[in-house]
């Protein structure tokens, strides 16, 4: 943890549109340690996906403006040329996407889709790559890997396809795997299997994971640290047990209160967070959560600064530690 | 796969049989024919002689069986309009020209159509894209004989650059009697509509595929842009392009009639028209069977092409549904 | 009930708004209106009768003679008058063909789709056989049997056009009859015929209307094309297609003989297809229907 593998500093992602500039990501900073699993949690439109897609420049550059710096292996990813960026993608930093039904190419054999990044980046022969692809299939728990190697995506279930996506992501043994809501489209039991798989692989291969999700429920058993995002900003950043035990930001509190709890038999109804997130074109000058906050005071008309609760627990709220 | 193709060929045979019955009975259900009294009186003896020669004095069902038993041996009888040759000979002679016209057109239409579509998809909303969209909506709507007339007016009459008609008789050819200057106008006029449709389909399908999640996945793997396009985009964009081919088959078959008529090309299409005008039943019957056969085979080929491109369309699974 | 009428009204209002914001559709509407105007008032608008022959005024160029602003044809008939009457032929054939196709195709398709069984089997096989070769060739076959002429063309084109309408109606009814409101109507004891005519056909109307409107340019093309080949309307009736066909022999000098009727055909077809596309975009914003 002392040495960061990936360091994101003051990342901004803005989309110019005819109606105005959409400020999707507004200055987020975080670091990712070696073999660490970092979860980024937030609701749809909070900028969590855009924030990671922009790391790999997977949003067409003509559509958006990205500012800030992303340090990885001694280089700033945002300053790389297109060719250097391609060399990173899939090779050093891999991605797994949300919907395994649409993220695999329907007309190509899955083996081909797994090995194509190895062939691209390591320049090895198709034969060697094939052996590697079959190993990977076995690694992610697909039975009869040798036979399944020749099958097409439509011959697999959703969970199996997500395993294939992960196998494709692991192909070049990247040091960072970015998983963008990889279990959202899956059944709950399959979800748990995928989470276990990623945790195991993380240990075995020694890679780090950034796991994007809107579901705080799955974070507890998965992540080391959690960043809660709201309206393009990180509002709270803490080790997972601290966040669950002592959430400091009203939004994190609200998220936790809206989770059903199975361990306590409470008569208290689940609490929803009322209201909608702010318009990202006319970004508020106040605290972005102001409209929906039940703790709001005069102070909240100015945007909050970072408050450190402990060395590892940071929160962006005027009332931090006083809730 | 083999079973499926056999089944399809069997179905095609049934369709051909149905077509032959319908055409034959339609042609014999109405009084009058090539030796109609109205077209000039014949002495009764001569008329009986002629009717006997063509077997027209027998009952219709007997004529049909007689006809079909010869037809399966590619003997389609003697055309009324040219008694000194056979239908098979006349068709095989004119057929070659129609195939030349058709194949050249398909190559031109698909070649340029795909190029234009890919370019327009890559440069969306550029002036080229607008031009492709505009020309294609014109090309789809305006009939090819109208386009042909305009081309003649501009390039043959006004500018006098190219001959007004003919096929392989202009004397200025690339190879022997092929690819001559008089090929240009018919092929362009004929190709515009399919080219427009291919360009539209290509553009639409490439734009759609470029937005698919799996293309983003391919980019996330660090593949080069060329590879992303070749391996992921084009493979999938081919599926709607085959559909375009399927919808263009009828237009290509009927289109030839107009093109041959406008440019005075002695192909099958022209004989089809003269046979119809003269009620030349043996010729009509043979051309209809040929077209229905061709049509069925082309559709079968498109379906096979589908399964080769798209693994989701498994033939076995498809026949179940 | 009041809820459904308001949604229906706002759907229509939406459709009209979408249509009136579509520039191409408005151009199409204007062109179609103009052609229909010519067709309806051809007798009043044209300076001469379409079959009036002036033996001394054969093949005049436009503006050669003050009485013939667009010249005369190869037998000395006023070209402007023939162009105006050509609109009448074109509209008469194409509109009546689509009307007949609708009258035959809609009930047949609806019955096949709704009742299924042996009836559906027979109708589907007829559709299969009729689509086993190009519709235009089939039309030509019927013409070769029945001989040319306006009536034959209308009959022949109707025979091949109803198939399209029947196929679309059948497909629509097939999907619609599985919808909940059908089950609901059956649940409250509505008769099968009532369900078919009160619930299914009105809901299937949009795609059918679109198919009819896009079938009109096809019929215009068919009439013009057949007449161009010499298989269409008989002399002396004016038809744009026939005028193009006849001009072929004179085109090197008398270019107007070819240019004017081809322009008329192209503009009419463009007008109707812009109108049809506009209708489709207005009635079916999700673009479900491909005709």
- B224–A117 C-beta distance less than 8 A: no
Whether A and C touch, i.e. at least 3 CB pairs below 8 A, reads as: no
If you search the block for the tokens 């195709």, which residue do you land on? C105
Q: Answer whether residue B319 shows pLDDT above 50.
A: no
3-state helix/strand/coil string of chain B: CHHHHHHHHHHHHHHHHHHHHHHHHHHHHCCCCCCCHHHCCCCHHHHHHHHHHCCCCCCHHHHHHHHHHHHCCCCCCCCCCCCCCCHHHHHHHHHHHHHHHHHHHHHHHHHHHHHHHHHHHHCCCCHHHHHHHHHHHHHHHCCHHHHHHHHHHHHHHHCCCCCCCCCCCCCCEEECCEEEHHHHHHHHHHHHHHHHHHHHHHHHHHHHHHCCHHHHHHHHCCCCHHHHHHHHHHHHHHHHHHHHHHHHHHHHHHHHHHHHHHCCCCCHHHHHHHHHHHCCHHHHHHHHHHHHHHHHHHHHHHHHHHHHHCCCCCHHHHHHC
Which of C61, C129, C130, C132 should we substitute to test contact with B (largest number of B Cβ atoms within 10 Å)? Answer: C132
Rounded to two decimals, what is the model's pTM?
0.75
**C contact chains, 3+ CB pairs < 8 A:** B
Say which residue, B51 or A80, is predicted with more confidence: A80
pLDDT in tens, C250-270: 888 888 888 999 999 999 998
Domain-embedded: residue C204: yes
- B30–C248 C-beta distance less than 8 A: no
Q: What torsion do the CA atoms of A240, A246, A252, A256 make, to the nearest 10 degrees?
A: 80
Contacts of B227 in chain A (CB under 8 A): 116, 120
Pick from A102, A108, A116: CB nearest B223: A116
Domain tally for chain C?
1
- A121–B217 C-beta distance less than 8 A: no
- Any idea which of A181-185, C5-9, C262-266 has the lowest mean pLDDT? C5-9
Contacts of B250 in chain C (CB under 8 A): 134-136
Q: How far is C102 from chain B (nearest CA, A)?
A: 22
pLDDT in tens, B187-211: 998 888 888 888 888 888 888 888 8
Average confidence score pLDDT of chain C: 83
Beta bridge mates, A25: A13
Mean pLDDT over C239-249 rounds to: 87
Contacts of B218 in chain A (CB under 8 A): 105, 116
Nearest to B105 by CA among B228, B302, B267, B230: B267
Q: Confidence band (pLDDT; 50, 70, 90) for C96? A: very high
A86 at the B interface (CB within 8 A)?
yes
Mean pLDDT over A200-210 rounds to: 87
Which of B143, B252, B259, B271 should we substitute to test contact with C (largest number of C Cβ atoms within 10 Å)? Answer: B143
Give me the pLDDT at residue A209, please: 92
Mean pLDDT over A214-234 rounds to: 87
| DSSP assignment of A118-164 | HHHHH---HHHHHHHHHHHHHHTT-SSHHHHTT--GGGS-HHHHHHH
User: Nearest chain B Cα to C129, which residue?
Assistant: B15
Q: Answer whether residue A27 shows pLDDT above 50.
A: yes
Give me the pLDDT at residue A1, please: 45
Average confidence score pLDDT of chain B: 80
Sign of CA dihedral B6, B7, B12, B18: positive
Q: Answer whether residue B81 shows pLDDT above 80.
A: no
Domain-embedded: residue C6: no
Q: Answer whether residue C102 shows pLDDT above 90.
A: yes
Q: Answer whether residue C98 shows pLDDT above 90.
A: yes
pLDDT in tens, C170-218: 888 888 877 777 777 777 877 778 888 777 888 788 888 888 888 898 8
Mean pLDDT over A182-204 rounds to: 84
Q: C262, C244 in Cβ contact below 8 A?
A: yes
Give me the pLDDT at residue C2, please: 43
pLDDT in tens, A227-270: 999 888 888 999 988 888 888 888 888 888 887 766 666 666 77
Contacts of B235 in chain A (CB under 8 A): 105, 107-108
Mean pLDDT over C128-142 rounds to: 79
If you search the block for the tokens 């080929």, which residue do you land on? B301
Give me the pLDDT at residue C290, please: 42
Give me the pLDDT at residue B33, please: 55
ipTM entry: 0.83
User: Nearest chain A Cα to B306, which residue?
Assistant: A107
The residues on B that touch C, with CB distances below 8 Å, are: 15, 18-19, 22-23, 26-27, 29-30, 32, 137-138, 140-143, 145-146, 149-150, 152-153, 156-158, 164, 250, 253-254, 257-258, 261-262, 272-273, 275-277, 279, 284, 288, 291-292, 295-296
- C229–B262 C-beta distance less than 8 A: no
Pick from B19, B27, B153: CB nearest C145: B27
Q: Confidence band (pLDDT; 50, 70, 90) for C93? A: very high
- Tell me what percent of the residues of chain A surpass a pLDDT of 70: 96
Count CA atoms closer than 13 A to C91's CA, side-chain side. 21
User: Nearest chain A Cα to B236, which residue?
Assistant: A107
What is the 8-class DSSP label of residue C68? B
Token representation of residue B38: 């109205």
Give me the pLDDT at residue C92, please: 93
Give me the pLDDT at residue C289, please: 42
**B contact chains, 3+ CB pairs < 8 A:** A, C
Q: B275, B284 in Cβ contact below 8 A?
A: yes
Say which residue, C205 or C4, is predicted with more confidence: C205
Give me the pLDDT at residue B316, please: 41
Say which residue, C99 or C63, is predicted with more confidence: C99
Q: Confidence band (pLDDT; 50, 70, 90) for B320? A: very low
Domain-embedded: residue C288: no
Most confident region among A55-64, A296-305, C268-277 by mean pLDDT: C268-277
Q: Answer whether residue C228 shows pLDDT above 60.
A: yes
Q: Confidence band (pLDDT; 50, 70, 90) for B315? A: very low
Q: How far is B251 from chain A (nearest CA, A)?
A: 30
Average confidence score pLDDT of chain A: 85
CATH of span A4-308: 3.40.50.300
Give me the pLDDT at residue C36, please: 94
Q: Answer whether residue A189 shows pLDDT above 80.
A: yes
Give me the pLDDT at residue C14, please: 79
- C134–B253 C-beta distance less than 8 A: yes
User: Nearest chain B Cα to C232, which residue?
Assistant: B277
Round to whole Å and give the CA distance between C19 and C16: 5
Chain B to chain C Cβ contacts (< 8 Å)? 109
Q: Answer whether residue B169 shows pLDDT above 80.
A: no
- B232–A95 C-beta distance less than 8 A: no
Cβ neighbourhood burial of C264 (10 Å; 0-12, 13-18, 19+): buried
Contacts of B157 in chain C (CB under 8 A): 251-252, 255
Token representation of residue A229: 């995002």
Range of C57's domain? Answer: 32-283
pLDDT in tens, B92-132: 888 888 888 888 998 898 888 888 888 888 887 778 788 88
Q: Confidence band (pLDDT; 50, 70, 90) for C288? A: very low
Round to whole Å and give the CA distance between C268 and C275: 11
Count CA atoms closer than 13 A to C11's CA, side-chain side. 11
Q: How far is C186 from chain B (nearest CA, A)?
A: 28
Q: Answer whether residue A317 shows pLDDT above 70.
A: yes
Q: Confidence band (pLDDT; 50, 70, 90) for B45? A: confident
């Amino acid at each position: 943890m002392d040495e960061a593998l990936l360091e994101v500093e003051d990342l901004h992602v803005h989309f110019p549109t005819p109606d105005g500039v959409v400020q999707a990501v507004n200055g987020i900073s975080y670091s990712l340690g070696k073999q660490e699993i970092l979860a980024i949690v937030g609701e749809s439109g909070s900028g969590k996906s855009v924030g990671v897609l922009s790391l790999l420049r997977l949003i067409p550059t003509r559509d958006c403006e990205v500012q800030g710096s992303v340090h990885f292996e001694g280089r700033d990813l945002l300053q790389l040329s297109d060719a250097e960026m391609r060399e990173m993608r899939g090779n050093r930093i891999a991605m797994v996407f949300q919907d395994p039904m649409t993220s695999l190419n329907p007309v190509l054999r899955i083996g081909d889709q797994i090995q194509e990044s190895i062939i691209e980046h390591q320049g090895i022969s198709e034969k060697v790559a094939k052996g590697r692809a079959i190993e990977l299939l076995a690694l992610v728990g697909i039975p009869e890997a040798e036979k399944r190697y020749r099958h097409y995506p439509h011959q697999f279930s959703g969970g199996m396809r997500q395993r294939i996506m992960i196998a494709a992501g692991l192909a070049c043994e990247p040091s960072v795997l970015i998983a963008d809501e990889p279990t959202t489209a899956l059944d709950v039991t399959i979800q748990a299997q995928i989470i276990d798989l990623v945790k195991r692989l993380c240990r075995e291969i020694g890679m780090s994971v950034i796991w994007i999700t809107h579901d705080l429920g799955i974070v507890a058993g998965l992540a080391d640290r959690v960043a809660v995002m709201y309206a393009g900003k990180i509002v709270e950043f803490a080790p997972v047990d601290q966040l669950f035990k002592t959430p400091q930001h009203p939004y994190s509190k609200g998220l936790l209160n809206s989770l059903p709890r199975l361990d306590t038999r409470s008569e208290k109804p689940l609490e929803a967070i009322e209201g909608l997130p702010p318009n990202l074109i006319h970004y508020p000058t106040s605290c972005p959560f102001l409209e929906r906050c039940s703790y709001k005071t005069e102070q909240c008309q100015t945007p909050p600064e970072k408050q450190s609760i402990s060395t590892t627990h940071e929160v962006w709220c005027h009332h931090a530690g006083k809730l | 796969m083999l079973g499926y193709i056999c089944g399809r060929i069997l179905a095609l045979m049934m369709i051909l049989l149905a077509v032959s019955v319908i055409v034959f009975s339609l042609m014999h259900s109405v009084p009058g024919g090539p030796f109609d009294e109205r077209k000039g009186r014949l002495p009764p003896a001569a008329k009986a002689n002629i009717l006997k020669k063509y077997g027209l004095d027998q009952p219709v069902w007997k004529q049909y069986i007689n006809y079909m038993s010869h037809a399966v041996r590619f003997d389609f009888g003697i055309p009324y309009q040219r008694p000194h040759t056979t239908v098979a000979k006349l068709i095989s002679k004119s057929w070659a020209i129609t195939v030349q016209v058709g194949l050249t057109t398909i190559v031109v239409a698909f070649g340029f159509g795909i190029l234009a579509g890919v370019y327009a998809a890559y440069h969306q909303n550029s002036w080229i894209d607008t031009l492709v969209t505009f020309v294609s909506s014109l090309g789809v709507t305006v009939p090819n004989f109208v386009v042909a007339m305009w081309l003649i007016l501009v390039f043959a009459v006004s500018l006098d650059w190219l001959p007004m008609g003919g096929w392989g008789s202009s004397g200025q050819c690339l190879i022997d009697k092929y690819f001559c200057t008089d090929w240009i106008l018919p092929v362009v006029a004929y190709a515009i509509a399919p080219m427009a449709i291919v360009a539209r389909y290509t553009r639409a399908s490439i734009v759609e595929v470029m937005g698919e999640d799996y293309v983003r996945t391919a980019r996330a793997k660090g593949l080069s842009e060329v590879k992303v396009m070749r391996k992921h985009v084009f493979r999938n964009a081919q599926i709607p392009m085959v559909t375009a081919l399927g919808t263009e088959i009828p237009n290509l078959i009927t289109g030839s009639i107009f093109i041959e008529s406008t440019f005075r090309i002695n192909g099958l299409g022209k004989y089809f028209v003269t046979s119809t005008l003269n009620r030349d039943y043996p010729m009509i019957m043979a051309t209809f069977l040929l077209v229905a056969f061709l049509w069925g085979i082309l559709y079968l080929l498109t379906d096979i092409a589908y399964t080769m491109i798209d693994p989701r369309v498994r033939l076995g699974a498809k026949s179940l549904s | 009930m009041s809820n459904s009428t308001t949604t229906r009204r706002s759907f229509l209002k939406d459709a009209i708004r979408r249509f009136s914001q579509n520039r191409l559709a408005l151009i199409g509407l204007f062109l179609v209106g103009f052609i229909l105007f010519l067709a309806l008032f051809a007798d009043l608008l044209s300076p001469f009768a379409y079959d009036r022959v002036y033996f001394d005024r054969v093949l005049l160029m436009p503006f050669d003679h003050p009485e013939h602003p667009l010249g005369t044809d190869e037998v000395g008939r006023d070209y402007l008058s023939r162009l105006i009457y050509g609109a009448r032929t074109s509209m008469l054939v194409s509109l009546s063909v689509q009307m007949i196709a609708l009258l035959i195709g809609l009930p047949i398709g609806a019955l096949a789709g709704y009742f299924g069984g042996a009836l559906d089997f027979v109708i589907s096989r007829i559709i299969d056989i009729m689509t086993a070769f190009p519709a235009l060739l089939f039309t030509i076959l019927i013409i070769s049997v029945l001989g040319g002429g306006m009536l034959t063309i209308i009959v022949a084109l109707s025979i091949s056009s109803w198939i399209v309408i029947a196929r679309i109606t059948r497909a629509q009814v097939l999907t619609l009859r599985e919808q909940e409101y059908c089950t609901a109507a059956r649940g409250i004891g509505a008769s099968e015929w009532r369900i078919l005519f009160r619930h299914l056909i009105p809901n299937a109307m949009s795609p059918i209307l679109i198919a009819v409107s896009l079938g009109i340019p096809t019929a215009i093309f068919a009439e013009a094309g057949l007449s161009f080949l010499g298989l269409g309307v008989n002399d002396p009736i004016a038809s744009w297609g026939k005028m193009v066909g006849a001009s072929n022999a004179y085109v090197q000098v008398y270019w107007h003989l070819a240019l004017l009727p081809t322009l008329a055909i192209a503009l009419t077809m463009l007008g109707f297809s812009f109108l049809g596309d506009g209708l489709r975009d207005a009635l079916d914003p999700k673009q479900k229907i491909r005709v």
